[in-house]
Amino acid sequence: ALAGAVLLFELLAGRGREELGPGEREERHGYYMDDATLTEMGADGKPRIVVNAANIEQELTDDSVILRDLRLNYATADSGIWTVTAKSGRMPPDRSSLMLAGEVIIRGSEDQGSPVIVTDRLTYDTTAYYIQTPEFVSIRFGNHVLGGRGLRANLNTGTLRLESNVNGRFTP
């Protein structure tokens, strides 16, 4: 009876438990969705932002959200619909931005001349509604191509600003 009591005490006190190694620890993830669609409605009741992703996962360690193979459609009153695609994205806990990486491509609305912007990394500010990157950017308007390092763009107004090392090719 004494040995049984000691064994019970040791189990309840945690003695004899082995610490899990780094590969064996339970990962801290919140929700997880495959083939997900998230929609933010505008003041007019119409979809303003629609995000489609192969999967979306919440990281509980910092409350960020990871998106993979995503497509974002952003509807504006003045510039039509912008479509952004990327291999991955991360939204920090404060939800103030969406950081995109891997073959980031932004396409303007067809009726606005269809500009195409290509870069490796991009940040979309969800509160001020602009995009920016310090990376090299290529912008194509039909047969015309502009390149430069760094971009700041307001998708609502359709204004783009290349920061430095700007060069272009304009084909008639």
The answer to whether residue 87 scores a pLDDT higher than 50 is yes
Compute the half-sphere exposure of residue 1: CA atoms within 13 Å on the CB side of its CA. 0
Is residue 16 predicted with pLDDT exceeding 50? no
Closest CA to 144 of 109, 172, 163: 172
Cα(54)–Cα(11) distance, rounded to whole angstroms?
44
Helices (H), the chain: 2-13
Q: Across residues 14-32, what is the average pLDDT? A: 56
Q: Place 80 in a pLDDT band, splitting at 50, 70 and 90.
A: confident
125 three-state secondary structure? strand
Place of tokens 């760094």: 150
According to the model, what pLDDT value does residue 19 have? 52
